[in-house]
Amino acid sequence: MWISTALLLESLLLMAAAGVTLWWMMHAWRTPETLDATAFAEPDGESRLSFSLLVPARHEERVLQRTVEGMLRIDHPDFEVVIVVGHDDPDTALIAQRLAESHPDQVRVVTDTHGTKNKPRALNTALPHCKGEIVGVFDAEDIVHRELLAHVDHAFRAASADVVQGGVQLVNYRSSWYSLRNCLEYFFWFRSRLHLHARKGFIPLGGNTAFVRAELLRATGGWDGDCLAEDCDLGVRLSSRGAKVVVAYHAALVTREETPDSLYSLYKQRTRWNQGFLQVLRKGEWRRLPLRQRMLARWTLTTPFVQAFTGVMVPFGVLVAVFGGIPLPISLVAWLPVLPMATMTVFECVALHDFGREYGFRITPVHYAKLLIGTPVYGLVLAAAAVRAVWREYTGRKDWELTSHIGAHLEPEQELERNPASATATATATASPEPQEAL
């Protein structure tokens, strides 16, 4: 009896989780008007705001120089690049210093002397040195579009926004089977789901291409130096204070990045993100939100528990359903989660085509096969990472597991430069008459 009850509860929970995930994935594609509303509004040609762009860099000597040199080509009259390096990272520091010497008016280097290094502590170290009205965060491997700040500047002014979240996209879809799925995850997250969160008034911000008014950022204490998902934590704290958030996405303007360089790196990265969500859940800032936003926050921040439960229970459920030993109605219910999951997979195939079209990438039948075959394995990796995150949080482990960068995203970027027809119809084609904003 207890086996039947456990299987029934598991199936209903997985059915609900899969259904909600599918609905959120499809948010931006519900209507043409909804999709158009996700884009940046066309800039008005004025540049009134000043920007401090923070680039925390730890052991990033392979990618930092290209990133900063690309940022220096941004078409905006008033911005600075602040590179944050650790006192124990001489190779990265040397590159940062050379960049500052070559561009003394735009590049500065700040040294993080914390004994325990992580991204939020590095950002907090740089915050007092920021001169701009707007503080933006980028990763050390980012490829930043030269017109991004013009669009962000206008978005702040047009919507009287406190926060502007731009798009981020992994692009090295050809590196491995899991890189393809990872790229598609980012496509859904920044193309669709964050817009839903902004409309609902609760948003876990992305890790970079996030811009916040410096005055507000300082007033709220910057980033939590102990949180493993400092971006989520900051978004929750700003949401709970009623900050006005604009989210905008356009393929030509997104910040391009690379996937983790191994499946184990992906596993550790997702462990860190999941544990960070659990930390934010435990802190309880989200409890200050109104009821509807509070419900959304609770569901979002407890996702690691759901994924961990899935990782433990799915093998059990499959074995019981296959080998029998339970009443037929319960056995049928056990297979219900397959329906939204199958629908999700079909929608992912459609989105993969859309991803290729928007970015000018050639998607072949092999890529669709990799997507379909890799789905269950990828799900197991994410579930295992969630289980590990729950265990680490329970046992009090909070060390930061750094994700290394090797520049794997540069090859698709070079492909895009060779074949720009699809994605460069572009910076001037931002379709929304008004930027997406929180309600």
Quick check: 137 and 210 in contact, CB under 8 A?
Answer: yes
Rounded to 10 degrees, what is the CA torsion of 207, 209, 210, 213?
Answer: 140
Please spell the DSSP secondary structure of 89-117, one letter per residue. -HHHHHHHHHHHHH-TTTEEEEEE--SS-
How is residue 193 annotated by DSSP?
I
Q: How far, in Å, CA of 266 to CA of 41, rounded?
A: 34
Q: Which residues contact 154 (CB under 8 A, 6 or more apart)?
A: 40, 41, 42, 43, 44, 46
pLDDT digit string (tens) for the chain, length 439 residues: 555 565 566 666 667 777 777 777 888 888 888 888 888 999 999 999 999 999 999 999 999 999 999 999 999 999 999 999 999 999 999 999 999 999 999 999 999 999 999 999 999 999 999 999 999 999 999 999 999 999 999 999 999 999 999 999 999 999 999 999 999 999 999 999 999 999 999 999 998 999 999 999 999 999 999 999 999 999 999 999 999 999 999 999 999 999 999 999 999 999 999 999 999 999 999 999 999 999 999 999 999 988 887 766 666 656 665 665 565 555 555 555 566 677 788 889 999 999 999 999 999 999 999 999 998 899 889 999 999 999 999 999 999 888 877 777 776 544 444 444 344 433 333 333 333 333 2
Fold of 1-439: Spore Coat Polysaccharide Biosynthesis Protein SpsA; Chain A (3.90.550)
Q: Which residues contact 242 (CB under 8 A, 6 or more apart)?
A: none
Query: Which residue ranges make up each domain of the chain?
Result: 1-439
Q: Where are the beta strands (DSSP E) in 220-263?
A: 245-247, 255-257
